[in-house]
Every structure is written in C-alpha cells, then in structure tokens.
Amino acid sequence: MLVQLLIALLASSALMVLDYRYSYLNSLRSAFSTLVSPVYYLANMPSEVANWADNNIVSRGQLLEKNQELKDQLMILKAQNQRLIGLESDNARLRALLGSGRKLRGKRLIAELIDVNTSNYAREIMLNKGSSDGVYLGQAVVDSDGVMGQVVNVASYSSRIILINDPKHAIPVKNNRNGIRAIARGNGLNLNLMYLPVTIDIRQGDLLLSSGLGEKFPEGFPVAKVVSVTRENDQPYLEVIAEPTANISTANHVLLLWNQTTQTQDQSDEQ
C-alpha cells in the first residue's frame, strides 16, 4: 500500500513538472473539460430554471389582480367614450341651434339650462343668462326646432322662462297650410287651440307657426304640430291639440332672441 502511494505521488509530481515546463497535458485537459461540461450544465440547470420561473411565472393572484386592473381601465375608457358621445351630441345640437339663428335677423344669444321646474303643472326653466347679458322681460326663447317660451323673470346672471306648454302661457299662431290664425294655450303637456269654430279648416298634421302678433315672437317660427282634431256636434268649437315642435323636455341649450324694437332701443341707449 505504501509503495503504491509513493508511486502515485511520484507519477503526479512528474506529470505536474512536465505540464508546467512543457504543457504536455493541455490537449488532455481540454478534452476532459469538453467531456464533463454537460455535467456542469446539468448541475446548474435547477438554478437556471428557478431564476427563469422567478422572472416569467406569476402567481394566480397576480394574474387576477392584473385582470381586474385591466377591467377597471376598460370601464374608465368606456365612460370617457360615452362622455365624448354626449359632447358630440351637444355640439350637434349647438350647431343646429346656430343654424336656426342664421334664419333670424338681429341679436341672439345661446343660453344653457341650469334648472327645471315642472311642479303643480308649471312648466318653467332657468337659464344661465340674465340682465348682465341684456336679457329682458318678455324676451322670446327658441331652440333649433321651434319656440320654447319667453322670459318672465330676470336676475343679474340668470333668468326664468315660462314654456309654451305651461297652462298660464298663450301664443298667437297661424296655420302654415291655409293661414288661419288662432291662440295656442298650454295644457301642461301640449297646446290647445282656443275658440276655433267647428266649420274651420284644420287637420291633423298641420304645422302651426308664430303669427308675429303682439311682437313677442318672430313671425313664421315653428310652434307646434296638430296631433288631434275633435268635432262635437253639440259644441260650437273644435277641440284641437297640438304638440310643440321645440325639444321642450330634452333641450340643454336655447337661443334668446332680441326683437328689432328692443335692439334699436339698446343701441340708442349705448350712444
């Protein structure tokens, strides 16, 4: 055993001296390294797999959290998109309102609704324009499709409007088909044409325009469309119901109109 140990030590020493001085074992060492490199790779694989899993595999809880975050972002984007749709609708209504205003001469001003009063059959709205903007009592208010009402109360920065379907409001109208004149009074929802004889020529679908009498409203502006005509043989007058053409229940913006008399007076006061 001792002899074998001595032989091994001598052989090892000889090999080390030869390798150091003459590099005889370089090719052998290279071949041995190539041979055992798969062993090193396999030994290191568990560590590499662990590092990859830490970087690329997330827990189920993290996935659920990320999924909920994406759902929340989607909901926010959808809400923003709905708001954009609403803004587009508002812009379309404003363009239509300005388009209707171009048919009229004189000063005009767009106002926004800030309150609605429909209690006790009253049909009134509040606007964000007042005396500081030149608004005055009795001023006509329209939208892109017809007459809305008139100003009944004015404050510095707001005004109250009575709508044409209010039971306290009446407006002179004429039938666009044949020119017959009448008075349209509100009934809380629509308009009733007052004191029309049973022999008068009026039909369902007739368009009623403002007649211009009284100089409150511009002549020829749409007011209502006849929806029913009832003739009672024992009654001297017709029962005629007309529906306002203006978007009374849905309008967010209206147009305040100045008649020529008021506008001329304002210009004189300024001079």
259: containing domain: 108-270
Write the pLDDT tens digit of every residue in 31-52.
655 665 666 566 667 666 666 6
Same domain? For 23 and 134 the reply is: no
Same domain? For 219 and 119 the reply is: yes
Cα 47 to Cα 103: distance, rounded to the nearest angstrom: 81
CA distance to 84, 102, 164, 222, 223, per residue, from 247 (Å): 22, 19, 11, 12, 11
Which residue reads 């150091």 in tokens? 20
Which CATH number do you get for residue 191? 2.40.10.340
Same domain? For 28 and 156 the reply is: no
Strands, DSSP E only, in the chain?
A: 108-117, 124-127, 140-143, 146-154, 159-163, 170-175, 181-186, 191-194, 207-210, 222-230, 239-244, 253-257
Residues of the chain with pLDDT under 50: 101-102, 264, 267-268, 270-271
Which residue reads 């209502």 in tokens? 224
What's the domain count of the chain? Answer: 2
Write the pLDDT tens digit of every residue in 182-212.
999 999 999 999 999 999 999 999 999 998 8
Q: Is the whole model's pTM more than 0.95, yes or no?
A: no
Same domain? For 38 and 146 the reply is: no
